[in-house]
Amino acid sequence: MSNDVQALQPDAVPLPPTDLPWLQSQWAQLRQRFTDSQQAAPHALMLVGSAGSGRHATASHLASWLLCQQPGTEAACGSCRSCRMLQAGSHPDLLKLALEEDSSTIKVEQIRSLINALNLTAGFNGWRIAIIEHAASMTDNAANALLKTLEEPGARTLLLLLVDTRKALPATIYSRCQQWALAAPDEDAAMHWLQQHCQHDAASLRLALELAHGAPLQAWHMLHDDSVAEAVSINEGLGALAAGDTDVATVLAQWQGIPAERCWHWLQHHLHRCCRSLLLASAAESDALQACWQLYAEAGKSLALAATGLRQDLQLQAWLLQWRLLCNSHAMIGDFVKQQVGTGQVGTGGRQA
């Protein structure tokens, strides 16, 4: 088999929780589509949802249930030979296609390799399933190559396309897929779930959920890597500059361990919050809002250039000087930042004892 297509590998440790109560009803509906004798089982499903919404969990749940030799009514048995191979990441009938290292697109050669693999006889005489991550990243040629399989699918073949939005795919592709939108739970339910699975304080959980745009799984991942701590450090540095309690050189030294791309990402997030607050403030100054949006745009440009050979320390230094000037010139922005830091709304990044 080509290196372009591999058996689905286990997730990196630590593994995210698999009990996702907000998706249970959708999972039940999906299973019913494959047991309802009144209609043909779908051959292509588009799972639509933001990062951390449960796209991968949904694809894995459905694939393991379909491939299980002794499936229950709600899930795979977890103990048959097929399930054991899935757990080991060596099942021959489950394929995953993802972006290659250092590539931003799925190439036509990858799709052709996937199609060839799907055309092989199923190892367990059942379903052959392919999960295409970042499906919207397919080149036009790759999408065209996939189209024939979507139009003339093989028997008991299932394609699962994972996307943020269906509009990111050509109409010829999404019109041939059944679409399932995976919605995030409400904030209270998401907070309850995080409290069950994370040993962090409430402020950190709220910050992670905000950074993840309400997606609990994404928030969980952020709490288990350095994302939340980085965001806290960025916010605290900006707050100290706004209050005049530190200088640019000190802030840059504190951020030294944060990769440049992530620095710009968090700076954009912070400026977006500032702009949103200014828009909601009835007494907001139009020139303050315009200046804030301009600095937000500058962070976006720098983020796009972060992978180039430009000196990021100099870029960050210049940006932070503009930020300090902005806060000094517009008291409303400085007050907003100080309030966020002072009330702990930026989070603490700590774990509960």
List pLDDT tens digits, range 261-275.
889 988 998 888 888
Paired tokens of 303: 């983020």
So what's the pLDDT on residue 84? Answer: 93
User: 157, 181, 205 — which closes off a domain?
Assistant: 181
User: What is the span of the domain harbouring residue 119?
Assistant: 6-181
User: 181, 216, 235 — which closes off a domain?
Assistant: 181
Convert the pLDDT of each residue in 129-144 to its tens digit.
999 999 999 999 999 9
The answer to whether residue 195 is domain-embedded is no
Residues 112 and 257 in one domain: no
Helix (H, G, I), strand (E, B) or coil at 315: helix
The answer to whether residue 199 is domain-embedded is no
Among the ranges given (44-48, 69-73, 245-249, 308-312), the one the predictor scored with the smallest mean pLDDT: 308-312
Residues 6+ apart with CB under 8 A from 266: 230, 231, 234, 235, 258
Residues 164 and 241 in one domain: no
| Averaged pLDDT score across all residues of the chain | 84
Q: Rounded to the nearest 10 degrees, how much is the dihedral formed by the CA atoms of 227, 229, 234, 237? A: -170
Among the ranges given (1-10, 38-47, 330-339), the one the predictor scored with the smallest mean pLDDT: 1-10
At 123, which CATH number?
3.40.50.300
Q: Rounded to the nearest 10 degrees, how much is the dihedral formed by the CA atoms of 320, 326, 328, 334? A: -90
So what's the pLDDT on residue 318? Answer: 94
Residues 159 and 275 in one domain: no
Residues 272 and 158 in one domain: no
Residues 230 and 303 in one domain: yes
Residues 80 and 163 in one domain: yes
Paired tokens of 63: 């694939």
Convert the pLDDT of each residue in 183-241 to its tens digit.
788 999 999 999 999 888 888 899 889 888 888 998 998 888 878 888 888 988 998 99
Residues 156 and 241 in one domain: no
Q: Stretch 95-117: mean pLDDT, rounded? A: 91
Residues 32 and 131 in one domain: yes
The answer to whether residue 244 is domain-embedded is yes
So what's the pLDDT on residue 203? Answer: 85
Give the span between the Cα atoms of 110 and 130, in whole angstroms.
12
So what's the pLDDT on residue 282? Answer: 58
Nearest alpha-carbon partner for 21 in 213, 149, 188, 172: 188
Q: How many domains does the chain have?
A: 2
Residue appearing with tokens 């919605």: 183
User: 181, 213, 239 — which closes off a domain?
Assistant: 181
CA 219 to chain centre: 9
Residues 169 and 291 in one domain: no
pTM of the model: 0.74
Residues 174 and 264 in one domain: no
Higher pLDDT, 194 or 6: 194
So what's the pLDDT on residue 176? Answer: 92
